[in-house]
Amino acid sequence: MRPSETKPHVIIRHCDSYDAERIRVIIREGLETLGLRPHGRTLVKPNLVIAGEGFEYAFTRPEFTEGVVMALKDRDEGQMQELAVGERCGITIPSRLAFKESGTDGVCKRQKVKKYYFEEQRQVEIPLSHEGRLRDYLFTPEPVAKADFFVNCPKFKAHPWTTVTFGNKAYIGIQDDRHRLIDHDAKLDEKIADLQYIIQPSFLAIDAIVAGEGRMLTPIPRDLNLIIMGNNQCAFDAVCCNIIGLNPYQVDHIRMAHERGFGPLSLDEIEVSGDVTLQEAKQRADGFEVGLIRVEKYFEGTNITAYAGPPPETEGKDYCWGGCPGAIEEAIEMLRQMDEKLDEKMPRLHVVFGNYQGAIDFKPGDRAVFIGDCAQYEGKLGDELVSIKNLYRHRSTLDPYTIKGEDILGKALKTYRLLSDGKHKSHIRLSGCPVSVAEQLLVLARYSNANDPTRDASAATSYLAWKSVMALKSLTGHKYQVHGPAERGEAKPEGMVPVAPGDAE
Ligand code: SF4
């Protein structure tokens, strides 16, 4: 069946195993139905936010990526100049590690396709001029800017900051950390909508064979036995939302991308086909748990008590969904994977976010951690009077070109220094906006005496390889980032026609 002339098309297919050959056939049929053939610089982006033991359900499985790569080769009529797989993984660890641990390295080797660890590529500038943008320009890795046929292959998962992570949200992986962490706060949804101006996928295929519920780094596996494909990111996300019973207009970043003209959300405007009906897909996903839980509730019943005041007024929100509170939820889940006795080991701890004005139920021997630049508190910890000042700097003072990045080693050293200085104090303050998952994880690991995640030799090897490659590149004149107009491929979005706000439900 050929796609309709006007409507974006989403295809829902049954697939109950990670069999790369089976996936290849399904994807090839999807490409055929959509009338798509890869061409020029073809770039496949899986979601490799984190991989390895304990994180099996967090990333796009290698069999899936391999099936996609093989199907793209099947559909090539000699128009592909390059076929590559690229990604920037999460929580400031080197992408080399995630490629290796996920098995994606092996896919690239077997299939003889190029791989791009995005942080090791030149970062180029993408100007923005639309109304409501957070900034006037963004940076993205050069292979993304230059792609002609972009294939987005996310993992079907819940997300603690943005409810879900489907096609639109996976774009956080098309920025290196230095640029990614700017606006990764209460404005995260706006940021994701802005990232849509960098590139639009020609094709999307999501790994929903085993989906992930509840969390993003350590999701609870949920067999959906589905592969969903499409040719428009908003329409695609809308169908994925519908599958789990979510109104796509209520997921801020998806609604914003729609309002900016990136595609429809209403099912009336989307052609849906495949060997699984939308109704059947919904039944498979019945009761699917998304990730939005406020931090106070999240820690109920544990030795950690969380207190969350609002972020600065200029953010226009009463809770920072995209920043520090969500990061601690992911940090504790990662530690639980590494140490099953974590909750028993954790001493009484108070974690405080935003402008918190209430009391802290602090007993002798407890500790408190004030987290984030916007943390603010005037009050008592037991008998001690404490004054924590707001350090938040408005986002308009931060420039993506001049902002300093900090890699995992820098963050670890800074955090260990802070912990050492605060060893005999009732409280410490973690600064940053946001304070990353990695930093919060190190603090929780130290206080609980949990198994130390930094002793991973494989991570150290990847880190050293990354740093060596970058040092060698700089000797040959490679610049980390370049200002000014960048070469763009055909996947650059064109002719966005914003939808009138009244059209949104
Ligand atoms: S410091 Fe943290 S909680 Fe405060 S605005 Fe920034 S990201 Fe949000």
Which residues of the chain form CATH 3.40.50.11440? 9-284
Ligand 1, atom 4: closest residue by C-alpha: 374
Which residues in the chain come in under a pLDDT of 50?
A: 1-4, 497-505
pLDDT computed for residue 500 by the predictor? 42
**Cβ contact 400:138 at 8 Å:** yes
Please list every protein residue whose CB sits less than 6 Å from any atom of ligand 1: 185-186, 311, 320, 323-324, 353-354, 372-374, 433-434
**Which atom of ligand 1 is found nearest the CA of 374?**
4
374 alpha carbon to ligand 1 midpoint, in Å?
Answer: 6
The token pair that represents 422 in the structure block: 């605060």
Instruction: Compute the mean pLDDT over every residue in the chain, rounded to the nearest whole number.
Output: 91
Ligand 1, atom 3: closest residue by C-alpha: 324
Residue type, 135: R
192 alpha carbon to ligand 1 midpoint, in Å?
Answer: 17
346 alpha carbon to ligand 1 midpoint, in Å?
Answer: 24
pLDDT, tens only, 348-389: 999 999 999 999 999 999 999 999 999 999 999 999 999 999
Q: Tokens 């100007």 — which residue?
A: 127
pLDDT computed for residue 453 by the predictor? 63
Would you state the CATH architecture of domain 9-284?
A: 3-Layer(aba) Sandwich (3.40)
57 alpha carbon to ligand 1 midpoint, in Å?
Answer: 28
Ligand 1, atom 6: closest residue by C-alpha: 433
Cα torsion through 461, 464, 466, 471, rounded to 10: -160
**Which atom of ligand 1 is found nearest the CA of 186?**
8
The token pair that represents 467 in the structure block: 């740093």
pLDDT, tens only, 327-348: 999 889 888 888 889 999 999 9
The whole model's pTM is what?
0.91
- DSSP characters over 99-137: HHHHTHHHHHHHHT-EEEEGGGSPEEEEE--STT-S-SE
pLDDT, tens only, 47-85: 999 888 888 999 999 999 999 999 999 999 999 999 999
pLDDT computed for residue 285 by the predictor? 97
Q: CA 96, CA 466: separation in Å to the nearest integer?
A: 7
